[in-house]
Amino acid sequence: MARYILFYKPYGVLSQFTPEPGSTHGTLKDYLDIPGIYPAGRLDHDSEGLLLLTDDGALQHRLTAPRFGHPRTYWVQVEGVPGEEALERLRRGVEIEGVRTKPAEVRMLDEEPELPAREPPIRYRKSVPTRWLEMTLREGRNRQVRRMTAAVGHPTLRLVRCAIGELGIGGLRPGEWRELAGEEVRFARSYEVSH
């Protein structure tokens, strides 16, 4: 029987089980001792949030192959207060290394999301306001969210993936994990055949 694990990856942890030579970053091995599972996708060491791990090779392929374009939602703390023009550019797509990103769903959050404090905390500057955006992408290019917000003049300060499709991070804290249950398993497996 296949296993499906939702893990809240903390800041500073690599999305892999094997350490990088010379790296001081933690790995998934520090949090998960479940043989045969692998991440279906990745988050950079300086990003936090939801990772799905599984031993289901077909699902892993579907969730990582760019052509399938499943939605991933992020809460993004940016420097400054983006205006409607910047938000619209993010929605339409911005050019990164000569290639335009696919259209994204982007909205400004009215309030800061309820998240555990990050260790180490982001650098606070009294003179520079920040805002939180919610961004849903259907592609996963290298450091894409950070590069997109920088391209419109609002560098990313904190990045948390809060959902993969309908699977959310609710109820987990950094370093915690749980197995998918009931409808969640059916939802995850639906990516194997329908997307």
Joined tokens for residue 40: 């279906």
Catalytic one of 30, 33, 44, 46: 44
Mean pLDDT score of the chain:
88
Alpha helices in the chain (DSSP H): 57-64, 84-92, 144-151, 183-194
* Residue 44 designated active-site: yes
pLDDT for res 193:
46
pLDDT, block means (10 residues), the chain with 195 residues: 91 94 93 92 93 82 63 95 96 94 95 90 80 93 92 96 91 94 73 48
pTM of the model: 0.90
Contact 30, 176 (CB under 8 A): no
Residue 14, helix vs strand vs coil: coil
Amino acid sitting at position 52: L
Contact 87, 108 (CB under 8 A): yes
Domains and CATH numbers, the chain: 1-68+166-195 (3.30.70.580), 71-164 (3.30.70.1560)
Q: How many DSSP H helices and E strands does the chain contain?
A: 4, 11
Integer Cα distance of 6 and 148 in angstroms = 26
- Which residue do the tokens 């694990």 mark? 5
Q: What is the pLDDT of residues 19-66, one digit of tens each?
A: 989 989 999 999 999 999 999 888 999 999 999 999 887 766 666 655
Residue 193 CB neighbour total at 10 angstroms: 9
